[in-house]
């Protein structure tokens, strides 16, 4: 399966276009741009957040809690971007914007280099790419600052026991440049 990072962008856009409240529309617009910047390793992602965001992961990533911009930047720039694991496809089944923020559930597909998995102790060929799949629910609280709706953080519940990792066929590996080209075509 070749991942399609634009699926999440388009789904957030559908929810945004159906929303009548301008603050909630702004939150959904932020979320789709946040996803884009995350996938494309774009430091613009940090402009979608409050100055001191907090991320919480339950059921995966060692139940990590990231406090403050320095820890969040380290997560993206080190853990995700430097490891070449930024490309994801998000299937959003439900999305509920509210005055406090946005709650969603769906499925997460992520392309991961085998070298990363092997370094974490998995039985993986370091020369291959793998596809990770998990069900998750995520909650993104927002705060209005200077007329902009900014992400306060992420609260993610990941079904790690139900997740899968399978090898990708070489022809199904999406490059970062191919993903950038797809977003430029919008």
pLDDT at 6: 97
Q: Residues 156-171: pLDDT tens digits?
A: 999 988 999 999 999 9
Cα–Cα distance between 105 and 110 in angstroms, integer?
Answer: 16
Cα–Cα distance between 56 and 107 in angstroms, integer?
Answer: 18
Find the mean pLDDT for residues 46-72. 96
pLDDT at 144: 98
Is residue 79 pLDDT above 80, yes or no?
A: no
Taking the alpha carbons of 178, 180, 181, 186 in that order, is the dihedral positive or negative? positive
Please tell me the pTM assigned to this model: 0.95
Is residue 61 pLDDT above 90, yes or no?
A: no
What's the topology of domain 6-181? Nuclear Transport Factor 2; Chain: A, (3.10.450)
Q: Band the pLDDT of 105: cuts 50, 70, 90.
A: very high
Mean model confidence pLDDT for the chain: 96
pLDDT at 180: 97
Q: Residues 120-164: pLDDT tens digits?
A: 899 999 999 999 999 999 999 999 999 999 999 999 999 988 999
Domain boundaries of the chain, sorted by first residue: 6-181
Cα–Cα distance between 126 and 56 in angstroms, integer?
Answer: 29
Is residue 175 pLDDT above 90, yes or no?
A: yes
| DSSP helix/strand/coil, 137 | strand
- How far are the Cα atoms of 20, 24, 71, 77 from residue 38, in angstroms, in the given order? 27, 21, 15, 10
Is residue 92 pLDDT above 90, yes or no?
A: yes
- The fraction of the chain above a pLDDT of 70, given in percent, is 100
């Amino acid at each position: 399966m070749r991942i399609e990072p634009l699926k999440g962008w388009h789904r957030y856009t559908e929810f945004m276009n159906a929303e009548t409240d301008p603050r909630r529309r702004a939150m959904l617009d932020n979320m789709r741009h946040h996803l884009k910047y995350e996938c494309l390793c774009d430091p613009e992602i940090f402009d979608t957040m409050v100055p001191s965001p907090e991320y919480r992961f339950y059921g995966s990533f060692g139940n990590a809690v990231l406090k403050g911009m320095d820890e969040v930047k380290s997560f993206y720039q080190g853990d995700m971007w430097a490891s070449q694991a930024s490309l994801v496809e998000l299937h959003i089944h439900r999305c509920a914007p509210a005055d406090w923020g946005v709650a969603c559930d769906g499925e997460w597909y992520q392309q991961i280099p085998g070298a990363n998995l092997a370094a974490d102790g998995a039985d993986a060929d370091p020369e291959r790419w793998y596809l990770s799949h998990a069900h998750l629910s995520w909650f993104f609280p927002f705060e209005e600052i200077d007329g902009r709706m900014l992400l306060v953080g992420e609260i993610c519940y990941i079904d790690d026991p139900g997740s899968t990792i399978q090898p990708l066929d070489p022809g199904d590996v999406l490059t970062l440049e191919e993903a950038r080209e797809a977003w430029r075509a919008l």
